[in-house]
Amino acid sequence: MSSIAAYYAGKNVLITGATGFMGKVLLEKLLRSCPEVKAIYILVRPKAGQSTQERTADMIKCKLFDQVGEDCPDFEEKIIPVSAELTQPHLAISPDDAKRLLSCINIVFHCAATVRFDEPLKYALQLNVMATQQLLVLARQMQYLEAFIHISTAYANCNRRYIEEIIYPPPVEPKKLIDSVEWMDESIIQEITPKLIGDRPNTYTYTKALAEYVVQQESSNMNIGIIRPSIVGASWQEPFPGWIDNFNGPSGLFIAAGKGILRTMRATNDAVADLIPVDVVVNLTLAAGWYTAVHRPKTTLVYNCTTGGINPFHWGEIEYHVVSSFKRNPLEQAFRRPNANITSNYLINQYWITVSHKAPALVYDFYLKLTGRKPRMMRIFNRLHKSMLLLEYFSSQSWEWTSDNVNMLMGQLSPEDRRVRTFHRALLS
């Protein structure tokens, strides 16, 4: 058994955001690669009329869990859903559940967040900052806690071009901001948000930066690690290649391109597209949990989980890969043959939007109307163009992240663990 798997044996783990994209992969990898783990408690909110238990039962039916179902048929018994709502006081965890968590949890992985770029600031603060504070309060009371791993983002400090594995001073003292927005009318907050977020592009990156500072300030005597993934995409190897369950980041645009809908996008061709597979991020996250608990670093270590410094890929290369990939694996019911044009020139992009997006959409909607059907193409393009405007900030420039802590962590792994948990040069080159 690898030393990381041996560490997690007999441990009780708490995961927030386990129903999310990364949380699911983390849950699955922990179950499959650390079969002796004692229990994994997952905070799951009731949603869309489904209870916490029903959501969890549905979740583990998804294809992602097929392999672990074969390897460890009783894996479901190790998953303990706990009802929670992270924007509520005490995370809406019942006293009995809280008591149980305090008495047994050894490692916490905090993945839950809102990742929407257009999230109203008050909600983003509630979920990404205040819920993190609340979770830290809970974690501080856990009698047997050995590590608390917070999932941040490589873009928390995207207002800097060179980002080190350190926690930077926050744009504002979180408590002051939280106290202010508590009494402010939503419309006032909306109005001052652009001034508050300053040189950050959205409330997501702004609140993730605040959360890192909160984690550092409220860590007291806990062993804490912070993981900063860049743009997380589909799985590379595990549990099988190509698994993803959302349209976030470039994923939705790749699908839109594969359907022949999206044909032009504004991006800087030689800007680094720092994409990283979700299983690689999860491997690093589990390794960081092990290292934090076993080696107990004196300070909170930050891990920039990025690829641009190791094996850079560029947005300009996307055109070729989009066209060739969808030629090999065409999507069903495509609107048109996929084609891709990436340009940094605003006017050229506007020309192609008119010629390749708006004109065909108008013609097709007119045809739908003529044939008695509801027009829909223009609405789809409008949504896509909104997404693209919000994503352009990230595709029009490059960042440089240091990775000393990631390199150090890789160096600490046994040969067996390096084989099982690739997250480094060997993988990315």
Ligand X SMILES: CCCCCCCCCCCCCCCCCCCC(=O)SCCNC(=O)CCNC(=O)[C@H](O)C(C)(C)COP(=O)(O)OP(=O)(O)OC[C@H]1O[C@@H](n2cnc3c(N)ncnc32)[C@H](O)[C@@H]1OP(=O)(O)O
Binding interface with ligand X (CB under 6 A): 115-118, 153, 155, 231, 247-250, 252-257, 262-265, 267, 315, 318, 322, 340-341, 383, 386-387, 390-391, 394-395
Amino acid at site 299 = T
Residue-by-residue DSSP string for 263-312 = -EEE--TTSB--EEEHHHHHHHHHHHHHHHHHH--SS-EEEEE-STTTS-
Site string for ligand NDP, 145-184 (x = CB under 6 A): ------x-x-------------------------------
3-state secondary structure of 190: helix
Question: Hey, which residues between 228 and 247 contact ligand NDP (CB under 6 A)?
Answer: 229, 231-232, 246
Contact 35, 61 (CB under 8 A): no
- Residue 45 contact, options ligand X, ligand NDP, none, Cβ 5-8 Å cut-off depending on partner type: ligand NDP
C-beta of 83: minimal distance to ligand X in Å?
24
Q: What's 208-221 look like in SS3?
A: HHHHHHHHHHCCCC
| Angstrom distance (rounded) from CA 80 to CA 120 | 32
Rank residues 33 and 153 by Cβ distance to ligand NDP and give the closer one.
153
C-beta of 283: minimal distance to ligand NDP in Å?
15
| Angstrom distance (rounded) from CA 83 to CA 64 | 23
Window contacting ligand NDP (CB under 6 A); options: 80-88, 157-165, 195-203, 331-339: 80-88
Q: What is the DSSP letter of 37?
A: B
Rank residues 313 and 364 by Cβ distance to ligand X and give the closer one.
313
- Residue 263 contact, options ligand X, ligand NDP, none, Cβ 5-8 Å cut-off depending on partner type: ligand X
Q: Is 108 in the site for ligand NDP (CB under 6 A)?
A: no
**Strand-strand pairing, 224-229 and 264-266:** unpaired
Q: Is 17 in the site for ligand NDP (CB under 6 A)?
A: yes
C-beta of 224: minimal distance to ligand X in Å?
19
Rank residues 127 and 138 by Cβ distance to ligand NDP and give the closer one.
127
Burial class (CB within 10 angstroms; exposed 0-12, middle 13-18, buried 19+) of 245: middle
Interface residue with ligand NDP, options 50, 67, 83, 87 (CB under 6 A):
87
Q: Is 125 in the site for ligand NDP (CB under 6 A)?
A: no
- Residue 132 contact, options ligand X, ligand NDP, none, Cβ 5-8 Å cut-off depending on partner type: none
C-beta of 88: minimal distance to ligand X in Å?
23
| Angstrom distance (rounded) from CA 356 to CA 147 | 51
Reported in sequence order, the residue ranges of 32-171 that DSSP labels E, i.e. its strands, are 39-44, 79-83, 107-110, 147-151, 162-163
Could you count the other beta carbons within 10 Å of the beta carbon of residue 294?
Answer: 14
C-beta of 90: minimal distance to ligand X in Å?
26
Q: Which residues are near ligand NDP by CB under 6 A?
A: 17, 19-23, 45, 47, 84-87, 111-115, 127, 151, 153, 208, 229, 231-232, 246, 248-249
